[in-house]
Amino acid sequence: MKIAVCIKQVVTREWPLRVSEAGTWIRDNDASFELNEPDAYALEEALRLKEKHGGEVVVCCAGPARASQVIREALARGADRAIHVEYEDGADTAGLDAASVAGMLASAARDEKFDLVLTGLQSDDQGFGQVGVILAEALGMPHATIIMEVQASDGSLRVKRELEGGWFQWLTIPLPALLTIQSGINQLRYATLKGIMAAKKKEIRKVATAAVPAGTQRILRVYVPEKAKETQMISGSPAEAAKALVSRLRDDARVI
């Protein structure tokens, strides 16, 4: 089974976030970075499928040159080789929307003819949860989201999806297919010294993208949540006060 795992480099959770001068993203020129956690679970699931059924695991990453950090980490954990998609001018991909990133990944992965493509459910920075779904459409693959368990058999997969309210759904889908993996599906492994040394010799194929893919969304403003406090006094009888409170919560605060 030939498996692709799409990974992303994100700012570490402990890093103090600061808005950039343009006000459309965070200032990350001096930040520390790490592998997106949901993608780490997707990588682990791919490695387990390879150990059980054989095949090859290829990590695919769309990002600037610094993204090689997480690519090497994925190779050290056990991936066989990697595909790194970056702009020819070295531009950052942090501000790109899901459609643009999916388009970059699709252009690099299409000729590989993968049997299975895995992505994390969402990224830790933007959290849109759309790249995997759009990528499946671009590659012409059936897909399933929020996967908690994967069982592979000849030519098909039986997968367990997490639904709302504690419910789950089992699906059978044909291969090739794409799955977005939920965090917590498995126990993550760490790179061993042997794996780190072996990663230095593994292939990283670089694919340059000359033009910025056309997106469908753009970030207008990023800002720190504004702190505000406003107290409103409600008078009248208990019944009148309760009615007025419900009205304020529903119509003004819109929390019910």
pLDDT in the model for residue 91: 54
User: Where are the domains positioned within the chain?
Assistant: 2-209, 226-256
CA dihedral (35, 141, 207, 197) positive or negative: positive
CATH architecture for residues 2-209: 3-Layer(aba) Sandwich (3.40)
- Chain-centroid distance of CA 239 in Å reads 49
What is the per-residue pLDDT across 1-57, written as a single tens digit (0 to 9) for each?
Answer: 999 999 999 999 888 888 888 888 888 888 899 999 999 999 999 999 999 999 999
Q: What percent of the chain has pLDDT over 90?
A: 64
Strand 177-181, strand 116-120: pairing = parallel
The burial class, CB within 10 Å (0-12 / 13-18 / 19+), for 175 is middle
Which of 1-5, 98-102, 173-177 comes out lowest in average pLDDT?
98-102
Provide the whole-model pTM.
0.84
How would residue 152 be classed by pLDDT, with cut points 50, 70 and 90? very high
46-81 CB burial, b ≥16 within 10 A, e <16 = bbbbbeeeebbbbbbbbbeeebbebbbbbbbbbbbe
End-to-end CA distance of the chain: 48
98 φ, ψ (degrees, to nearest 5): -60, -40
* HEC assignment per residue over the chain: CEEEEEECEEECCCCCCCECCCCCCECCCCCCEEECHHHHHHHHHHHHHHHHHCCEEEEEEECCHHHHHHHHHHHHHCCCEEEEEEECCCCCCCCCCHHHHHHHHHHHHHHHCCCEEEEECCCCCCCCCCHHHHHHHHHCCCEEEEEEEEEEECCEEEEEEECHHHCEEEEEEECCEEEEECCCCCCCCCCCHHHHHHHCCCCEEEEEECCCCCCCCCCCCCCCCCCCCCCCCCCCCHHHHHHHHHHHHHHHCCCC
What is the per-residue pLDDT across 120-129, written as a single tens digit (0 to 9) for each?
Answer: 999 998 888 9
How would residue 93 be classed by pLDDT, with cut points 50, 70 and 90? low
What is the per-residue pLDDT across 7-20, written as a single tens digit (0 to 9) for each?
Answer: 999 999 888 888 88
What is the per-residue pLDDT across 183-219, written as a single tens digit (0 to 9) for each?
Answer: 999 999 999 999 999 999 999 999 887 566 667 788 8
Q: What average pLDDT does this structure show over 88-115?
A: 81
